Amino acid sequence: MRRLVLLLIALAALSGCRRASEAPPKPHPILVVGIDGGEWKVVRRLWAEGKLPHLRSLADRGVTATLRTAYNSSPVIWTTIATGVTPREHGITDFVVPTPRGDVPISSDVRKVPAIWNMLTQAERRVAVLGWWGSWPAEEVNGVVVSDRALLDLERRVSPASYLPTFLEEVSRAREEPSLFGAGDEAEMRDRAIARAATTLAGQGFDLLLVYFRSPDIISHNHWKSYEPEAFDGFEPLVEDRDRVPRSYEAVDQALGRILKAGPKDLNVLVISDHGFHAARPEEVKILLDMDAVLKRLGYLDRIYTHGTPSFRQVKLLRFSKVRPAEREELRRRLADDLASVTYESGAPVFTVRDARPREIREGGDFVAVVRTEGATPALLVRGERFEGAIESLTRISGTHTRNTHGIFLAAGPDIDPDAKMEGIRVHDITPTLLFGLGLPVAESFAGKARTGLFTADFREAHPLRTIRSWGTRKSTGARTSKEDEKLLEELRALGYLQ
């Protein structure tokens, strides 16, 4: 496939040149910064306050637009961005993949087509990929891949394997280096490490550098209420929470500035997001509650236990253990009375007990306790005494998005036309546009198109659009499991992505 692609590129180059003996100049390198959940409303408000100087500079000397999104699922959108084809074609259709052992987070093994880093490798161009969602296990490329699970103790978290010691040094440096990304939060620490590695790699001669930051999305889900309190009647945010969303954008802007300073001066730069954000009304409350811990605290666990119900499910299937049928109704009544004494610290009741429905009976439940969310607090009161052993996590999702909550697009650089009209640009157009900007052929099989008008007339004349039928396919080996799957699933559940 690589020999075929190189031949097609060579033929296309010869046919596209004004004279066969006059090869076009090599295009300038491209930096792509992906901000998960980047929202224009936040960016513009911070610009009005004199913040985000590096994003402001790109906008002043380049182009801004709304990037039209689709699909409403971050790994699906970011894979679409990286492949130029639809989810049906690339194979990533959700956050998870079903397996006989249950759902597992998506991985690069599931993808059925080349990503842009594979395309550049086929064309013998150098590429670095840092943090991109769905990039674990890290693939072999002509360059470096730091996968989205690079901070987890897993095989193939980076590629090549020889880069791992260097990356671990970068992580260590990132922990000590001043940064607006927090070091105590796992998502922010991941972005802090990605930023540190990207800063080092920026000056190492890559044709394409892809850098992805996820923490703005997570912070926006959890803290949008404090950013936009006017959307929530009567809410007064804590002082320390007011700047959580803005600070995440400032952290990305800081990282962008450091990458640009370390990289070559002739970079073409794109900053994009998969979707934007808006207030979630009503606010969603997500509780991870260990029902068996409550049953144990009330003294029932030897006779009643939670059956087949993970902590994130609000409906808890309860089952009798070694209890004679004649005794069950009275035991259930006593438990219902005792559960009624369990409240949140706000005084709101925690549980409602009801009969199991037909489907719940088929799943093995004898009866059901439903976890209520109104008035939820991180700890419970059992008969007036504080009890902290049951609630594993409590999150309030105040920021959300849909398939129509569009993202951001900024571009600037020596080959970018500052007067370009980018209205209507879609997530499907990014890979075709990047290939055109790197002087490589665009596949006719792409769902999107190369936005050639983004580039100057001189660039378009020197590098006319070339096409090939397809960049090929990739053998999908299906879902891959890892020892960190449950941890990753819990993170997705806490954000409301999984039920």
The pLDDT, as a whole number, for residue 193 is 97
25: DSSP letter: P
**In 95-134, which positions are buried (b, 16+ CB within 10 angstroms) versus exposed (e)?**
bbbeeeeebbbbbbbbbebbbbbbbbbbbebbbbbbbbbb
Beta bridge partners of 393: 288
Q: How far apart are the first and last CA of the chain?
A: 41
- What residues does each domain of the chain span? 2-282+400-494, 291-389
Neighbours of 469 (CB within 10 A): 10
Q: Which residue has the tokens 């397809």?
A: 470
The 3-class SS string of 131-200 reads CCCCCCCCCCCCEEEECCCCCCCCCCCEECHHHHHHHHHHHHHHHHCCCCCCCCCHHHHHHHHHHHHHHH
Q: Is 429 left (phi over 0), alpha (psi -120 to 50) or beta?
A: alpha
Evaluate the CA torsion angle 398, 400, 405, 406 in order and state its sign. positive
| Predicted local distance difference test score (pLDDT) of residue 22 | 57
pTM of the model: 0.86
- In eight-state DSSP terms, residue 379 is S
Give the strands of the sheet with 351-355, arranged side by side: 304-306, 315-320, 367-371, 351-355
Can you say whether residue 54 is alpha, beta or left, with left for phi > 0 and alpha for psi between -120 and 50 degrees? Answer: alpha
374 neighbors 326 (Cβ within 8 angstroms): no
Could you check whether the bond before residue 160 is cis, i.e. omega within 30 degrees of 0? Answer: yes
- Is residue 470 classed as helix, strand or coil in its secondary structure? coil
Contact 444, 82 (CB under 8 A): no
For residue 58, CA distances in Å to 384, 456, 488 come to: 57, 16, 34
Provide the CATH number for the domain formed by 2-282+400-494 in this structure: 3.40.720.10
The pLDDT score that the predictor gives to residue 9 is: 57
pLDDT given for residue 4 in this prediction: 55
Q: Determine contact, residues 258/195, Cβ cutoff 8 Å.
A: yes
pLDDT, mean of each 10-residue run, the chain (499 residues): 57 44 79 98 98 98 97 94 97 88 90 98 98 97 98 97 98 95 92 98 98 97 94 86 95 98 97 97 88 96 92 92 96 97 96 96 96 94 93 89 96 98 97 98 97 98 97 90 87 76
The owner of tokens 């260097």 is 166
Provide the 8-state DSSP code for 426.
B
Q: What pLDDT sits at residue 286?
A: 86
SS percent in the chain: helix, strand, coil, step 5: 35, 20, 40
In terms of Cα–Cα distance, which of 167, 163, 155 is closest to 109? Answer: 155
Residue with tokens 């080996």: 477
Q: How far is CA 297 from CA 290, 293, 390, 499, in A?
A: 11, 6, 9, 26
The DSSP element (H or E) to which 377 belongs, if any, is none
pLDDT of res. 8 = 54
With both helix axes pointing from N to C terminus, report the angle between 53-61 and 244-262 in degrees, rounded to the nearest 10.
60
The DSSP output letter for 93 is -
Cα pseudo-dihedral 427, 428, 431, 433, rounded to 10: -90
- Tell me the three state secondary structure of residue 446: coil
| pLDDT for res 492 | 85
